[in-house]
Structure 1
Amino acid sequence: MMRKLFVAVCFLLINNGMLNAQNRDGKMGQLIDEQFKFADQQYKVLAKNVPADVMPKTYYEKTDKVETSDTKWWCSGFFPGTLLYIYEYTKDSDILKEAKARLSILEKEKHYTGNHDLGFMMYCSFGNAYRILKDPSYKKTIDTAAQSLSTRFHPEAGVIQSWNSSKKMAGPVIIDNMMNLELLSWVSDHGGDKKYKQIAITHANSTIKNHFRPDFSSYHVIDYDMKTGKVLQKITAQGAADSSAWSRGQAWGLYGYTMMYRFTKNKKYLSQAKNIAKFMLNDPNMPADMIPYWDYNAPGIPNALRDASAGAVMASALLELAQYSDKKERKQYLSVAETALRTLASDTYRAKLGENGGFLLKHSVGSIPHKSEVDVPLTYADYYFLEALHRYKTWYL
């Protein structure tokens, strides 16, 4: 009788969602705590390796040097954004001081209109700063950045142009651009011009129409005639081939449509996100440890390079997508995200204190076709790794 009662109680607890992720394995809370405490110390090393007027970009072990960028580089928001995630967890005043110093050199880029990356640059940094610190000046910066980004919208084509025109491409739009829609949507929802969110919606709809194949894998670059919206080319810049599925691009799409569902509650976006997830998770080339090869069709698999950044973005996206899913899907998404995070936290991917130039993760891939940032640490891998850990702790522990 007591055994039956015990089983019944356990069944009720599970069905009511009271057995959270920590109770399932007993260790995720500990893992998250360890990673943030490590990050607190490791990012102090990175800060010392980077002059005060620039941002970290990557690190090359052969030369033992951290490569830096100016604040116009598309990754410039990730270092202060990561510092802010660390501060939010540890309350380390030295980390906050460093974050504010880096925000101060980045702030001027709120006026930048040279490409589509204002969301990465200004929302991952100042968006987190305003969320955590509630400083009204940070919101003004975000509002201005949304206005700057909106100038790249072409209503005739229904898209935000990613890169400027060149001899090779008339109006390139990359799948990465889905990530920048968060800036526009958030500003509209927080007192800003409603047109920004409408731009985001229009761009998301055009991207569904033109970027995705029947299996819900994505092209990297769509080249548009910006006056008519005609698609001129469907190609890649960083993938293995025009027809391949570049892994970080798939993760950008997954994250982007999950985020657009959050802002709109349009089930079309939720369906798109789930279909992208299905493609990624069911692909025969997805490794069991859930860190993708740099391209799902990369030559040389299983000996091709992995991309830690793609794994981190995917994990963070799946943790949010699980919030909007039924029990079966939720279980799958959480399991995959947990596996990816455990892998990234392992000795294979996570650096040791004082090594790796001060970056957290090793083994990311920037662009193999350009022989750029290949098998190195990258700021956005660290950022989305900590974002995923933050999301897990906030939503599932």
Structure 2
Amino acid sequence: MRFIPIYCFILLISSQALAQKLTLNVGNQLDYCVAQLKKELPQQTDYTKEPRRIPAGQKSWNTVSVTDWTSGFWPGTLWYSYEYTKDPALKAKAEGFTKSLATVLDKPVLDHDLGFQFYCSYGNGYRLTQNPAYKKTLLRAADSLATLFNPNVGTILSWPRPVPNMEWPQHNTIMDNMINLELLFWASKNGGSKKLYDIAVSHAMTTMKNHFRPDWTSYHVVVYDRKTGRKIKGVTHQGYSDESMWARGQAWAIYGFTMSYRESGKKEFLETAQKTADVFIKNLPADHIPYWDFNAPGVDSPGVDSPDIPNAPRDASAAAVVSSALLELSTLTKDKSLQTKYRAEAEAMLTSLSSASYQSHDVNNAFLLHSTGHKPNNSEIDVSINYADYYYIEALLRLKRLQEGKRL
């Protein structure tokens, strides 16, 4: 007989209880997202600028250049809204903001974020419209991303430029890069080179071996010797410390390895997704929305005069990413108890995100409040951020499909 550890059993029961106590009406939440978008659309008429953040005190989105790493999330959110509503006005806006990203590929690759930029925008656009021009652009983006692969290391170079603490010109790889592999997997199956699949698997395998501590918390960045592939060190760039569990970094790991298992069928990736999800869930606060870093100093931390936790900024974006990932993970694992646990936890997160504590409503035109971008840099702390909204609506659409008995 197989026994579940008592803490897992308690967590499973508590997650199920919350999900049952606070029933989430997915249709109502999707309607809310569309209404928020439609409030904002009259303000966004310049297709060369993509909405990124709404600071405190503002109603409308601040915009960034199409070269910004987050530039694909706004058009991706529009595509998801069109998928739900079939509203031609939303489709037209999605097309306009998507098309403007093409110029990114006319310049040398700045970093690894082409997957975020193009798979969220052109990828969703192609999935919904089958526009052959979108497919051509996606294949071009995948080939561009592949130029950053270092076969000596086995991973894609994340930042091909000097970044503090990265020992440039040595090779750096950040956990965020796992998400960009989906572009390579897709391209390898849709007319691109088989080499793109091999690069994606190599990157995931190497990350799996080097990015995790024994307890399956993750390093944000690993620095490698660019010539030998030797691991030099694990560090952070956006987390509290080199040895802390930065919430969104762990979220990228859960999402990325879940996706990599779906695309490759490699059991190691499923096991990694489960272990990284379990430690994330185990350490969540009562409302299921993580602090920006799980190891930010708390009230019980020795020698800390001004503790962050329990008053530390939350990161709704990390919860949105993980809720979407857990819904998929619940459909991929064969373990019935884990299927139930991951589905219940995803619904608990979405229920909390859909509460008055986290939804924006009249505060501003975003979907969600209380995300944290880069706290060590004092940047985007407790604001609305486009990738929080993107993964929130993605998770809602995934839950809707599951409730309807459909496959993801």
TM-score scaled by length of structure 2? 0.87
Contact residue 36 and residue 90 of structure 1 kept, 8 A: no
- Rate the CA distance shift 1:128–1:367 in 2: closer, same or farther, 3 A: same
1:82 corresponds, among 77, 86, 111, to 77
**Whole-Å separation in 2 of the counterparts to 1:136 and 1:65:** 33
> Quick one: which amino acid aligns to residue 37 of structure 1?
D
Alpha-carbon deviations, 1:122-164, whole Å to 9, x = none? Answer: 0011110011111111111110000000000001111100012
Report the equivalent of 2:11. Answer: none
Partner in structure 2 of residue 9 of structure 1: none
The offset of 1:352, in angstroms, is 1.0
Tell me how far apart the structure 1 counterparts of residues 294 and 20 of structure 2 sit (CA, whole Å).
Answer: 30
8 Å Cα contact 1:319/1:392 also seen in 2: yes
Report deviation, 1:65: 5.5
- 1:341 equivalent in alignment to 2:335: no
Partner of 1:216: 216
Letter of the structure 2 residue corresponding to residue 257 of structure 1: F
Structure 2: distance between partners of 1:290 and 1:188:
36
Aligned 8 A contact 1:40 1:95 in 2? no
Partner in structure 2 of residue 145 of structure 1? 141
**TM-fit CA distance, 1:338:** 0.4
1:324 aligns with 2:332: yes
CA 1:63–1:85: 2 relative to 1, 3 Å? closer
Cα offset, 1:395, TM superposition: 2.2
Within 2, Cα distance between the matches of 1:395 and 1:365?
Answer: 29
Residues 165-216 of structure 1 deviation map (CA, whole Å, 9 limit, x = unaligned): 3264222210000000000001101221110010000010110111100011
Measure the CA separation in 1 of the matches of 2:291 and 2:165.
Answer: 28
Give the secondary-structure state (helix, strand or coil) at the position aligned to 2:61: strand
Could you tell me whether the CA contact under 8 Å between 1:111 and 1:144 is conserved in 2?
no
In structure 2, what is the Cα distance between the partners aligned to 1:294 and 1:26? Answer: 26
* 1:304 match: 312
Contact 2:323-2:350 within 8 A present in 1 as well: yes
Alignment correspondent of 1:18: none
Q: How high is the sequence identity, in percent, across the aligned residues?
A: 45
* In structure 1, C-alpha distance between the alignment counterparts of 2:61 and 2:208, rounded to whole Å: 38
TM-score for the superposition, normalised by structure 1: 0.90
Q: 1:62 corresponds to which residue?
A: 57
* 1:36 pairs with one of 30, 33, 39: 30
CA-to-aligned-CA distance 1:17-71 (integer Å, 9 cap, x gap)? xxxx9xx95986x721112212222112223333412000101223555321000
2: CA distance, partners of 1:27 / 1:93: 34
Give unmatched runs, 5+ long, in structure 1: 1-20
Instruction: Give the CA deviation at 1:282.
Output: 1.6
Residues 1:133 and 1:26: Cα distance change in structure 2 (over 3 Å): farther
Q: 1:111 to 1:258 in 2, by over 3 A?
A: farther
Q: Deviations over 1:224-282 (max 9, x none)?
A: 22111122221101000001000000010000000000011110100011111111112
Aligned to 2:247: 247
The aligned counterpart of 1:382 is 389
1:272 equivalent to 2:275? Answer no
CA RMSD of aligned residues (A): 1.7
> What SS is found at the alignment partner of 2:233?
strand
Structure 2 residue ranges without an equivalent (≥5)? 1-15, 298-307
Q: Once structures 1 and 2 are overlaid, which stretch shifts more, 149-158 or 45-54?
A: 45-54
Deviation at 1:298, TM superposition (A): 1.3
1:115 equivalenced with 2:111 (yes/no): yes
Which of 33, 44, 47 is the matching residue for 2:41? 47
Q: Give, as a single letter, the amino acid of the residue that structure 2 aligns with 1:363.
A: H
Look up the equivalent residue of 1:304 and give its one-letter code: A
CA contact (8 A) 1:367 1:373 kept: yes
Whether the aligned pair in 1 keeps the contact of 2:22 and 2:351 (CA below 8 Å) is: no
Counterpart of 1:321, as a letter, is L
